[in-house]
Amino acid sequence: MQFLSPRPYSKVGFLILTRKNAMNSWIFKLLASAVLVFLTNTAFINTAAYASEPVERTNTSTLWFESWGKLTNATLIVVNPEGVRTDVFAISGSPTFHLRDVAPVIDGVYSYELLAATDEMVTIRNQLDNGRGKAQKKQVSKPFLMNGFFIVSRGVITVQKALIEE
């Protein structure tokens, strides 16, 4: 029993190209280059997007971020399981959330949102007259947004893997 087809052609989408003509066909070259461009751009975009993002870190009572890069004017918004919101602001450096700042500490899932300004500038598309005259800016810092959650159990921040029941 033979699993490979003995016919000298290969299927590319809806086209059937002979082996002899496949490499000379402009359609084959176009498809191959489109796939190559897509894969290259996807790999570059993913690398560029995640290269400078802050990394969430926790210990038993604190949430902070490492690999901060050039982010400034950061606001960390933490919401406890009952919906009570706590805001932490830092002009430079990483904002740090301490459980001791929330009284009482409630066990459950806490969600957070991190907002910050990057050093990259973007042009304002819909310019409004804000009354500043010549001091009005045409560009603003590009915003950075990250969100996530952490779990508090018995009054301490716990590792998420430890809570999985078997």
45 compared with 105, residue with greater pLDDT: 105
pLDDT of residue 134: 83
DSSP 36: H
Q: How confident is the model at residue 44 (pLDDT cuts 50, 70, 90)?
A: very low
Residue 70, pLDDT > 80, answer: yes
pLDDT of residue 98: 96
Show the beta-strand stretches assigned E in 19-154. 55-58, 62-66, 72-79, 85-92, 97-98, 108-123, 139-153
Q: Tell me the three state secondary structure of residue 46.
A: helix
Residue 82, pLDDT > 90, answer: yes
Residue 112, pLDDT > 90, answer: yes
Q: How confident is the model at residue 50 (pLDDT cuts 50, 70, 90)?
A: very low
Q: Tell me the three state secondary structure of residue 64.
A: strand
pLDDT of residue 33: 53
pLDDT of residue 164: 57
N- to C-terminal Cα separation, the chain: 47
> Is domain 55-126+133-163 classified as CATH 2.60.40?
yes
Cα–Cα distances in angstroms (integers) from residue 98 to residues 13, 87, 107, 121, 124, in the given order: 56, 11, 15, 32, 36
Distance between CA atoms of residues 58 and 151, nearest Å: 10
Report the Cα 74 to chain-centroid distance in Å: 16
Mean pLDDT of 64-90: 93
Of 82-86, 112-116, 160-164, the one with minimum mean pLDDT is 160-164
Instruction: Please check whether residue 78 is in contact with residue 86, taking contact to mean a CB–CB distance below 8 angstroms.
Output: yes
DSSP 135: G
Prediction pTM value: 0.62
Cα–Cα distances in angstroms (integers) from residue 62 to residues 57, 59, 85, 97, 102, in the given order: 8, 5, 16, 6, 11
